[in-house]
Amino acid sequence: MAMELMKMPQLGESVTEGTISKWLVKPGDHVTKYDPLAEVMTDKVNAEVPSSFTGIIKELKADENQTLAVGEVICSIEVETAKTDNENAGQVSHSEENVAAPVAQQAAEPSRKARFSPAVLKLSQEHGIDLAKVKGTGSEGRITRKDLLKLVESGNLPKTDEPSAISDSAPEVVAPQVNRQTSPVTNVPTAAGDKEIPVTGIRKAIASNMLKSKHEIPHAWTMVEVDASNMVKLRDNLKTDFKQKEGYNLTYFAFFVKAVAQALTEFPELNSMWAGEKIIQKKEINISIAVATEDALFVPVIKNADEKSIKGIAREIQELASKVKSGKLKAEDMQGGTFTVNNTGSFGSVQSMGIINHPQAAILQVETIVKRPVVINDMIAVRDMVNLCLSLDHRVLDGLVCGRFLARVKEIIEKISKDNTPIY
């Protein structure tokens, strides 16, 4: 037998960590290669992690709702090897040296050693909980995040200066080594009636990615006002027949994504990424679109958007949105994005500054189309107007090229008509 380690995989570009949302196995279970081990959440995707080995689950290295960096061990699996008993005698595999020995020591001295996850340590620090006075319900009495959340909800928190009401033993804390920086604990005063809402794994992942974008990328912002009256008229004339024929909606957003993809072919500078000593200008134009659920935001990708018709883009928008809402979005659906278009107008926004989707160089916010009086040829007319707001990475892009890019998108939208804008 040999011990193999399963590690947190990278489930998308720029993804640096994942959260175990649910274990699908337990110690002692037999698994075969490719069997699902756990459900994992990141800021970009929900996915199952398959086993790379056939064998017996020996230890789960993380609690549910615990966040681990890419490459950190999530569990150990005992697998059969081709070695003879004589070869195995007196030998311990490299993985066993790192994993099995500490586990054995912990089992041999359960009253002396305790292993706490980062999530447990963080919660105990936030609420002043004395872990020596908490009785765990996890494997071998291990304290889990759920144990602490139940105590927080009950209000019966064992403090460090209170006598033990739960456990008389005082285990030594052996904190796991974490190969990443953790956010500092923020002490926020609370009052009667305040509601404490535990941060979910996916919300932590979104927060981490947004923080990384704002810390690393010097954001700048610009906006243009666009007369979308011709586009609105064409789409409204076509939408009923299109829905009957195709089975899905022809949305305004599809027109904007097509216009952006066309403009990116003419201004490839915006289809770039910062890479330290160089700037990578991407050949493919893959448009990331933001799709929201009740509590999270996902960014699936329309691949080669410049090669697709408005109809093709509308279909992909509908398919990707359906995958997000049904929980069927895959890791590959999130990968390869080179520029993001966000439909902020769908919830009534008229002006906003988006946070750039790292490592891309820009994000365009398409705001609400509103009817407004405007001056045309010294006459006042009511037109369908929309603001397009561009956030840009000032390491990669300057205002001049971004202004020209937005002007070109504006031109494309304002020149949409039945004669020069094919849908198919």
Catalytic residue among 168, 241, 398, 419: 398
Q: What share of the chain is helix, strand, coil (3-state, %, to 5)?
A: 35, 25, 40
What pTM value is reported for the model?
0.61
pLDDT: which is higher, 115 or 251: 251
Over residues 325-329, mean pLDDT: 84
Which top CATH class is 217-414? alpha beta
Residues 6+ apart with CB under 8 A from 343: 253, 256, 289, 290, 366
What is the predicted pLDDT for the residue at 101?
34
Domain 2-174 has CATH 2.40.50.100: yes
Residues 6+ apart with CB under 8 A from 163: none
What is the predicted pLDDT for the residue at 82?
53
Contact 388, 364 (CB under 8 A): yes
Question: Residue 32 and residue 40: Cα distance in Å, rounded?
Answer: 19
Taking phi over 0 as left and psi of -120 to 50 as alpha, with beta for the rest, 79 belongs to beta
Q: Is 270 in a helix, a strand, or coil?
A: helix
Using 50, 70 and 90 to split pLDDT, how confident is the model at 97? Answer: very low
What is the predicted pLDDT for the residue at 229?
97
pLDDT over 90 percentage in the chain: 48
Q: Report the alpha-carbon angle 103-108-113, nearest 5.
A: 70
What is the predicted pLDDT for the residue at 405?
97
Question: Residue 31 and residue 77: Cα distance in Å, rounded?
Answer: 9
- Position 294 pLDDT exceeds 80: no
Mean pLDDT of the chain: 82
What is the predicted pLDDT for the residue at 57?
94
- Position 359 pLDDT exceeds 70: yes
Using 50, 70 and 90 to split pLDDT, how confident is the model at 100? Answer: very low
Which residues make up the CATH 2.40.50.100 domain(s) of the chain?
2-174
Over residues 3-11, mean pLDDT: 89
Using 50, 70 and 90 to split pLDDT, how confident is the model at 139? Answer: low
Over residues 154-158, mean pLDDT: 75
What is the predicted pLDDT for the residue at 409?
98
- 11-20, 134-143, 152-161, 196-205: least confident range: 152-161
Catalytic residue among 94, 236, 241, 394: 394
Question: Residue 9 and residue 25: Cα distance in Å, rounded?
Answer: 17
pLDDT 10s digits, 228-265: 999 999 999 999 999 999 999 999 999 999 999 999 99
Closest CA to 228 of 420, 410, 419: 410
Which residues make up the CATH 3.30.559.10 domain(s) of the chain?
217-414
Dihedral sign, CA of 64, 65, 66, 68? positive
**Active site annotation includes 394:** yes
The token pair at 155 is 């209000």
* Strand locations in 138-236 (E): 172-174, 219-227
Question: Residue 302 and residue 340: Cα distance in Å, rounded?
Answer: 10
**Active site annotation includes 94:** no
Do the strands 370-376 and 379-393 form a parallel or antiparallel pair, or are they unpaired? antiparallel
